[in-house]
Structure 1
Amino acid sequence: MPETNPFQGEIRPLHIGDIVPRFAARSTQGPIDLGDYDDQWVVLFAHPADFTPVCTSEFIALAQAADEFAALDCALMGISVDSLFSHLAWIRMIHEMSDVKVEFPLIEDPTMEIARAYGMIGDDANDATTVRSTYFIAPGGILRASVTYPPNVGRSIPEMLRLLRALQQADSENALVPADWQVGDDLLRMPEETSANLFKQANATDWFYSKLGSKGRRND
């Protein structure tokens, strides 16, 4: 990464609906330009450091689930402040200990410019030990969801997949996703916004709470 900050404007936490900062950086799969992924979903996830127990467990689990993300037209990208050579040594060690190959890109951010641009850390942060954030980025570079875990608790990969599927299903059906939804479960209709059909509903609650059958099938 260059020493000068390529990101312009005030550094602030990203909000849902924002266009995420684009960046170009080195990775274990070669140079990465986030702008090249505007036509698909991206899950960008940060971890505090290489060669740490929780992060190692996450990378093994994510590598094992990589085909499931790919089937949803979603690119996985890891990122941390460690150098490219640390990343390469770590994923080789992961393969040695687990026989799992990490084949999605792991991006280096040694100056923490990307972490700052995404609002993971403040301007005055000296390290990224508290960074374990995940960004669900829709086509067009639009942030649709973000989740941050503490450094001592690993992410749930099944929940990452569930959230990605929920976002995609909600878009395709123009519907809402209820609590504990899984693929194949019913979605919820958008509530009525005028009184035009309010009194035509069979039940008094149907205008704001009614189920819409999902076209998705459970994919366990």
Structure 2
Amino acid sequence: MAVTLGQKAPDFTVNSTQGPITLSNYKGKWVLLFSHPADFTPVCTTEFMAFSESYEDFKKLGVELIGLSVDSIYSHIAWLKDIKEKFGVEVPFPVLADLDKEVATEFNLLDPKVGTTVRGVFIIDPNQVVRWMIYYPAETGRNIKEIMRVIKALQFNWTNKLATGANWEPGDSGIASAPGTLKDAIAREKEAGAERWYLKRVKV
């Protein structure tokens, strides 16, 4: 069965451009696992450069990046070398060579029509629970700023136990959970920051 939101991410050990990678070794850290359809393709190349250029920003958030496709390790190496030589961008994170398609299958990343990985993104929390997952069509590149915003929102929730509203940005208020009883709902309306019994913003 493919992984679902809120489920513990299935463990794996797969060879990568930086040697074997075991997901469980990342426990205690935030992980951004993302797949691309194929090496030496135009949209994927722009994405890998964008992820690389934002690598230090991800590191500041304590996020480990892991790329993935079903291409071979030699294809990955050749592609990353080409990106560095032709575009001057060094890819600093590991890229999994999921030749057996085991990880892609577990994370529901395979395109059944062509047998390659789709353009997917998974954010895995320090307890190795999948907290966010999104898929992009092959012709649409990912928005790195939005991915980082989501990571910051998830970390805000992790630290403060508050949800985040639409278009939330760092510095904005969080949202308290809605009351579960009539008594608590009536009491909530009298609390500071409560706009309605079911909507209370909390400044942190």
Whether 1:158 and 2:134 are equivalent positions in the alignment is no
Q: 1:54 to 1:126 in 2, by over 3 A?
A: closer
Whether 1:135 and 2:122 are equivalent positions in the alignment is yes
Residues matched between the structures, number: 201
Over aligned residues, Cα RMSD in angstroms?
1.7
Which of 172, 188, 202 does residue 190 from structure 2 map onto? Answer: 202
Q: Give the stretch that moved more between structures: 44-53 or 105-114.
A: 105-114
1:92 partner letter: K
Superposition map of 1:95-174 within 5 A: 95-121=84-110, 127-128=115-116, 131-174=118-161
The alignment partner of 1:162 has SS state of: helix
Q: Deviations 1:116-164 (Å, cap 9, x if unpaired)?
A: 1112237x665115x1111110112111110000111010000110011
2:33 partner letter: L
Which of 10, 14, 18 does residue 3 from structure 2 map onto? Answer: 14
Report the counterpart of residue 85 of structure 1 in structure 2. 74
**Conserved in 2, the CA contact under 8 Å of 1:13 and 1:120?**
no
What TM-score comes out, normalization by structure 1 length? Answer: 0.86
**Conserved in 2, the CA contact under 8 Å of 1:28 and 1:88?**
yes
Shift of 1:206: 2.9
Whether 1:39 and 2:28 are equivalent positions in the alignment is yes
Q: Deviations 1:6-29 (Å, cap 9, x if unpaired)?
A: xxxxxx332111111111111111
**Conserved in 1, the CA contact under 8 Å of 2:185 and 2:198?**
no
Distance 1:199 1:189 in 2: 15
Distance 2:114 2:199 in 1: 48
1:34 partner letter: L
2:92 partner letter: E
Report the counterpart of residue 65 of structure 1 in structure 2. 54
Distance 1:19 1:138 in 2: 9
2:102 partner letter: E
Distance 2:133 2:81 in 1: 29
Shift of 1:198: 2.7
What TM-score comes out, normalization by structure 2 length? Answer: 0.92
**Conserved in 1, the CA contact under 8 Å of 2:40 and 2:79?**
yes
Structure 1 residue ranges (4+ consecutive) displaced by more than 4 angstroms after TM superposition: none
Shift of 1:66: 0.7
The alignment partner of 2:68 has SS state of: strand
Report the counterpart of residue 5 of structure 1 in structure 2. none
Report the counterpart of residue 37 of structure 2 in structure 1. 48
**Conserved in 2, the CA contact under 8 Å of 1:47 and 1:133?**
yes
More helix by share: 2
Unmatched tracts of structure 2, length 5 or more: none
Q: Deviations 1:83-103 (Å, cap 9, x if unpaired)?
A: 111111111111122211101
Whether 1:191 and 2:170 are equivalent positions in the alignment is no
Q: Give the stretch that moved more between structures: 13-22 or 176-185.
A: 13-22
**Conserved in 2, the CA contact under 8 Å of 1:29 and 1:103?**
no
